[in-house]
Amino acid sequence: MSCLGEPFFTVTNFTMTLTDRTCVVTGASRGIGAEIAKELADHGANVVVNYRSSEARAADVAAYVEAESPGDAITVQADVSEPEEVESMAEQTHEAFGQADVLVNNAGITLDGRFENIDREKWKTVIDVNLTGVYNCTDAFYDDIKASDQGRIVNMSSIVGEAGNFGQANYAASKAGVIGFTKTIARELAPKESTANCVAPGFIETDMLADVPEKIREGILEDIPLDRFGEPEEIADAVRFLASGDSSYMTGQTLSVNGGKHL
């Protein structure tokens, strides 16, 4: 505000609406990805529900969108680690909805173990999906994001990518790499007024966390100030913010959604 009580400039009044936006969500058949797809559709987006092998669960997400949301949905099978399959996904997106406006790189896997037990195959598989998969999808939709009037890339990292974690050298490396990749892409997209940001979830109630032994779960909880694990819907809320116009002056950032857990 100026000393006369008048603002120096006026900022466009964006809202959280995603009406008529096309959002591609990878790994959207279950867990966090499914909730992201539903959340974006609930705010008006047309959603591409990507899956690798869970066709029935992806169909359930699309059915929810069609029945409960103002947006539309299609399901597209593609392994994000395979460039040809990702290119096919882009083609199917364009045929159904035209240009993509938002890309959410959510697909990811874990193959955990102590470093001495992580062989080259386990290392390569995790990197291929979690990091190279982000490259493949960004490459396929990059021109769309640049051309969109509010292009958005939202990449899913992890608290493990920020802080490391015992028994997850491959996963931590892949998710740390996503943060560095995002910061660079954000700089390169900025002249087109498109943005790229990360969400780094903490420990969230998903299938992955369900496999953690109870004693270890209790130890993790002791270091979470909010004294609970997160819900997939809470991550979806953060992604929706970054996908919307309300995040227009935020790029190259990592939004940590972890209940206050110390890094």
> Quick check: 7 pLDDT over 90?
no
Q: What is the pLDDT of residue 60?
A: 98
Write down all domains in the chain, each with its CATH number in brackets: 22-202+231-256 (3.40.50.720)
3-state secondary structure 141-155: HHHHHHHCCCCEEEE
> What pLDDT, on the 0 to 100 scale, is given for residue 37?
98
User: Between 217 and 250, whose confidence is greater?
Assistant: 250
Whether pLDDT at 184 is above 50: yes
Type of residue numbered 5: G
What does the pLDDT read at residue 11? 40
Q: Which pLDDT does position 16 carry in this prediction?
A: 65
What average pLDDT does the segment 220-243 reach? Answer: 95
Q: Which helix (H) or strand (E) holds 64?
A: helix 55-68
Residue 3 has pLDDT above 50, yes or no: no
Mean residue pLDDT of the chain comes to: 93
Asked whether residue 14 carries a pLDDT value surpassing 50, the answer given is no
Q: Which residues of 16-48 are buried (b: 16+ CB within 10 A; e: fewer)?
A: eebeebbbbbbbbbbbbbbbbbbbbbbbbbbbb
Angle, helices 169-189 vs 120-127, to 10°: value is 30
CA-CA distance, 16 to 184, in Å (whole number)? 26
Catalytic residue ranges = 171
Helical (H) or strand (E) element with 156? strand 152-156
Task: Note the pTM of the prediction, 2 decimals.
Answer: 0.92
Q: How far is 110 from 258, CA to CA, in rounded Å?
A: 19
The counts of H helices and E strands in the chain are 10, 7
Q: Which amino acid is at 134?
A: V
- Taking the C-alpha atoms of residue 159 and residue 200, their distance in angstroms, rounded to an integer, is 5
Residue type, 38: K
- The pLDDT assigned to 220 comes to 87
CB burial string 186-209: b at 16+ within 10 A, e below: beebeeeebbbbbbbbbbbbbeee
User: What value does the mean pLDDT take over residues 174-182?
Assistant: 98
Does residue 36 register a pLDDT over 50?
Answer: yes
Position 171 pLDDT exceeds 70: yes
Q: Does residue 168 carry a pLDDT above 90?
A: yes
